[in-house]
Chains A and B, each alone.
Chain A
Amino acid sequence: MPKIGVHKPLKSKFVSQDSKKLPRENAFYFFSSIGNYIGESAASLEEFMEKIRAVNVKSLEFHLYREDFEKWISGTLKDKELAADIQKLRGSNLIGDELRDQLYLVISKKFNKSK
């Protein structure tokens, strides 16, 4: 179970192709800055979606503006469409909880579509 901040965790009630767990070397590891791993990782799109709601927003800002999310989604999850949506989101220069909400929205839409 992820650490909870002000956001509530999602309950994983469905299993889809996007819930398949990746090996740990291919998971996404959340950092707050260069070299500072915060102890949260995601090994599937579903887990990734849950962590977007749970991790410190500074970590989301750090990864989004380094293009780490796009690279992982496109390179590891092989989802070019979602990567392009996140790239678009990056262009809107959001920060803080607004960024978290929009990221979550984009990813959950894709996740629900793939169920």
Chain B
Amino acid sequence: MRGKGHTVALDDLDWKILRTLQENARQTYTEIGRGLGIAHSTVYERVKRMEKQGIIRKYTAIVDLEKAKLKQVIAIMTLFTDPKESETVATKLSEFEEVLEVSTSLSEELSIIARVIAEDQEKLHAFIAQSVAPLPGVLRIRTSIITRKYKEQNFLINKGGG
């Protein structure tokens, strides 16, 4: 068995179980087994194996912040960086709790794209001005505040047939 960080080969049944869990991670092994026409013990063994392999990283709740009346500002921040420093900038950015997601992109210029959360616009600006702009290698920052979300969905696995 391979540990975390390695590529692991999954069969069709594994993919089907993953897709079922993505749709509703609170289903019991029996319910999953019934849906897929297999024994609950098979589901249990495979889920445990995939947890151990790090394929299933965690189970979490998706909270509707609007319904919970938690008014937060979410923004997409694009940082243009000195190519020599971009790796360090991306790593440093990832350490801030205000930063939810960090990716790099190679379009016209090397850039880092990050999703950021703050209590309000003022706090968002203060965070960017005091913590992000001073990072060595940051050349410019473009920030778009999200005003309305029309869709939010994680990638759903479409593998394993059936």
- The reply to whether A38 and B140 form a contact with Cβ atoms under 8 Å apart is yes
**Complex contacts, B121 vs chain A, CB 8 Å:** 34
Question: B residues within 8 A CB of A41?
Answer: 133-134
Contact B141 A35 (CB under 8 A): yes
B interface size (C-beta, 8 A):
20
Query: CB distance A35 to B124 under 8 Å?
Result: yes
- A24 and B135 CA atoms in complex are apart in Å by 8
Q: Which residue of chain A has the shortest Cβ distance to B141 in the bound complex?
A: A37
The answer to whether the Cβ of A104 comes within 8 Å of any Cβ in the partner chain is: no
CA distance A24 to B77 in the complex (A): 21
Residues of A within 8 A of B (CB): 24-25, 27, 29, 31, 34-39, 41
Residue from B75, B80, B136, B142 within 8 A of A24 (CB atoms): B136
Give Cα A31–Cα B143 distance, bound, in whole angstroms: 11
Q: How far is the CB of B130 from chain A (nearest CB, A)?
A: 7
Whether B128 pairs with A37 at a CB distance below 8 angstroms is yes
Contact residues in B for A24 (Cβ distance below 8 Å): 134, 136
- Which of B134, B138, B139, B142 contacts A36, CB < 8 Å? B142
Of B80, B133, B140, the most chain A CB neighbours within 10 A belong to B133
Give the residue name and chain of the B residue nearest to A66 (CB): B125
Contact of A39 with B140 in the complex, beta carbons under 8 Å: yes
A37 to B133 alpha-carbon distance, docked (Å): 7
Q: In this complex, which of B80, B128, B145 has the most chain A Cβ atoms within 10 angstroms of its Cβ?
A: B128
With contact pairs A37-B140, A38-B140 given, residues A25 and B130 touching in the complex (Cβ less than 8 Å): yes
- Write the B116-138 contact mask toward A (1 if CB under 8 angstroms, else 0): 00000100110011101110101
